[in-house]
Chains A and B, each alone.
Chain A
Amino acid sequence: MVAASQAQTAGTGRRRSRRLPIVLKPFVALLYVLVIVAVWAGYQTAADVPRFLLASPTEVGWQLVDLAGDGTLWTHLGYTVRNIGLGFAIGALVGVLLGVLVSRSQVVDAMIYPFLVVFQAMPKIALAPMFVLWFGLGLTSQLILIVSLSFFPILVGTVTGLRQVNSGYQDLATIIGMKPVAKLFRIDIPAASPSIFAAARVAAVDAMTGAVVAEWISSSQGLGYLLVEANSSYQVPTLMAAIVVIVAVGVALYQLVTFVETRALSWRDPVSA
């Protein structure tokens, strides 16, 4: 667990978050979109890319408008977003729970460590069809995939966060005679929350990947399904429109977690943070 926990923190630590909100600033974001579209259109024209490989930004734009207009987009988007939300919530719960258990009990840590390691290293995309085999075609196997992708970063974040809780707080809790459960909720988890939030940002994006992959493998709804259908029926503009929407959802999720993080952590002492 130790190696893994150190691993995730450096990649997702607080440092990064301070720089990223740049994406947010609407004008800069707009500028980026414009540049991307311009380069895309330029490449399309200059390299004379056949239409079955790459649609032009205009085509994709109109396709998006069409999909939004006839409601198709919202159905798929709603389905995927709901699954991401559900899967992420379960994943976060499982992750925090396991994280607390692992950091509280060396025995639990030692016992689940081998499974966590092997499972984490297993490419979920190849595992996804197995989930369908074992858990059926319905929502269950889709949610299991999302949870299996999103719980791990949270688990690691929780463990790391709990390890870093200021020993002064621990002593304080002992002095005022706090009960273990109260200590967990009032001291440990709040103190570990910066690390948990950093992990949540990764987990949210992972949850989205899980949702898309699950829908890719078996679903009749969702953005992942839209991708597959468009791909197998050669609707390149739809395919690319789906990718654009998926990326937008990813960015939105990322920003949402960051937003919640700033709100939730506003109590933090700016000096120690």
Chain B
Amino acid sequence: MRRINRRSILAGIVAGAVITVTAACGDVEPPATGGTDGGTTKVSIQIDGAAAPYYAPLYWAKEQGYFAQQKLDVEFLYADAATITKNVAAGNVQFGFPNADTVIQAVANGVPDVVVHTTYQQGIGALLTLAGSGITSPAQLKGKTVAVTSLGSPNYVQLTAMAASAGLDVKKDMTVKVAGTGAIVSALQNKEVDAIVFSRLRYYTLKAAGVQVNQILSNEYLPSFGNVVIAGQQYAQENPQVVKGFTTALNTALQDLIDGKLPAAVTMSVQKYAPSFAGQEQAVTEVMQEVFVKELWQSEATKANGLGYGDPAAWQKAVDAQKKYGLIKGDVRATDFVRKASS
């Protein structure tokens, strides 16, 4: 409250100073607005985590001019999933690319987001264990220490579901520790814990960093979706052509990558967007070929209905699973916030 108060008092002075100084310092970062300029609409998409070649379809769509063909000028920003869902709903960005689990929680708590493109057809959560720990199935979690990002997070629910499948109780049969997203992987590397529940993509970055790990995919125990494209409810309603343009361009890029452009797209992504992956292009391409092309971007549903198809029944199952484990309260209908097909 004090913030607002102070803000209003000083707004005038600050505004004046901002203009002066910004003009003097030059424009370093364009503002994330959804303005239109000469027929081209400027939109921003906020991506979960940090720039990584796994987001190649988005980068490819921009670099190949697929967004431009749809009269879109797309800018990429990054943050954690919960921030993204709120920013999208608040109109700070037009699109988001967070994890579906977070989107379900957001919607259940009244954040007005809609899923416009179910990009990943299954969940990307996984139980990651150090190779030395010998954990290869949920039953072996008994007596072990497992880290999750928070006790209210989807990865805690994934752990609960996984444990339940082996007749274990997370509260009694194992020690659960909390480590934030910035610390959880370190906790595993450091052998602080025997296992963590986190993104399965970390399996590959960890291997690339020289850490020997095993993984058990959460999707088998708790069906979900990985990253999906979301938009604000109101924005999607008022700008159907922008949403359609965005998903069309994304689908074109996805198809390119599926059809053999993946190595080129990964190389470009590393070069222009994620230079910290330099030298790992080959490994990343292999991972993406195996995981993304085969399992994430495509499914039976997409073969029948097109890429990015949001299967209402599958979504409802994901929602119900969250409800079953107490992550969300109240009834949420998948059809209310998931768009089936975009193109």
Contacts and interface: CB of A to CB of B under 8 A. Distances in A.
Nearest to A231: B82
Contacts of B183: 128-129, 132-133, 137, 217-218
A230 B163 CA distance: 25
A59 to B, nearest CB: 12
Contacts of A228: 150, 180
Contacts of B106: 52, 234
B186 A129 contact: yes
B151 A220 contact: yes
Contacts, number: 97
Contact of B193 (A53, A137, A216, A232): A137
A89 B187 CA distance: 27
Nearest to A125: B182
B188 to A, nearest CB: 10
B192 A137 contact: yes
A52 B87 CA distance: 10
Interface in B148-163: 149-153
Chain A interface bracket (under 10, 10 to 19, 20 to 34, 35 or more): 20 to 34
Chain A contact residues: over half helix, strand or loop, or mixed? helix
A232 B178 contact: no
A43 B1 contact: yes
Contacts of B112: 50
A79 interface: no
A261 interface: no
B4 interface: yes
A24 interface: no
B179 A235 contact: no
Nearest to A221: B178
Given A53-B90, A233-B152, A39 B186 contact: no
Contact of B179 (A37, A43, A218, A231): A218
A209 B112 CA distance: 32
Contacts of B105: 232-234
Contact of A137 (B86, B182, B187): B187
A132 B189 CA distance: 11
A192 to B, nearest CB: 34
A52 B192 contact: no
Interface in B81-112: 82, 86, 89-90, 102, 105-106, 108-112
Contacts of A133: 183, 186, 189-190
B236 interface: no
Contacts of A229: 150-152
B192 A234 contact: no
B112 to A, nearest CB: 8
B192 A136 contact: yes
Given A137-B147, A137-B177, A217-B183, A43 B4 contact: yes
A36 interface: yes
B190 A128 contact: no
A104 interface: no
A231 B151 CA distance: 12
B190 to A, nearest CB: 6
A43 B180 CA distance: 33
A219 interface: yes
B239 interface: no
B151 A218 contact: no
Chain B interface bracket (under 10, 10 to 19, 20 to 34, 35 or more): 35 or more
A225 B90 CA distance: 24
Given A137-B177, A225-B178, A231-B82, A51 B110 contact: yes
B273 to A, nearest CB: 21
B109 A137 contact: no
B4 A235 contact: no
Contacts of B186: 129, 132-133
A254 interface: no
A136 B189 CA distance: 10
Given A216-B180, A218-B179, A220-B178, A36 B187 contact: no
B303 interface: no
Contacts of A134: 190
B20 interface: no
A132 B191 CA distance: 12
Interface in A214-265: 216-220, 225, 228-229, 231-235
A232 B86 CA distance: 10
Contacts of B177: 137, 220
Which of B4, B90, B327 has the most chain A CB atoms inside 10 A of its CB?
A: B4
A235 B152 CA distance: 10
A136 B179 CA distance: 10
Given A36-B5, A39-B5, A133-B186, A234 B82 contact: yes
A228 B187 CA distance: 18
29 contacts: A36-B1, A36-B2, A39-B4, A40-B1, A52-B110, A52-B111, A129-B180, A132-B179, A132-B182, A132-B183, A132-B186, A134-B190, A136-B187, A136-B192, A137-B177, A137-B179, A217-B180, A217-B183, A218-B179, A218-B180, A220-B151, A220-B177, A220-B178, A229-B150, A232-B149, A233-B105, A233-B327, A234-B106, A234-B110
Interface of B: 1-2, 4-5, 80, 82, 86, 89-90, 102, 105-106, 108-112, 147, 149-153, 176-180, 182-184, 186-187, 189-190, 192-193, 327
Q: Which 6 A-B pairs have the closest CB atoms?
A: A234-B109, A40-B1, A220-B178, A233-B152, A133-B186, A129-B182
Given A36-B1, A37-B1, A234-B106, 16 more contacts: A40-B4, A43-B4, A52-B89, A129-B186, A132-B190, A136-B190, A137-B192, A137-B193, A218-B187, A219-B178, A225-B150, A228-B150, A229-B150, A232-B152, A233-B105, A233-B152
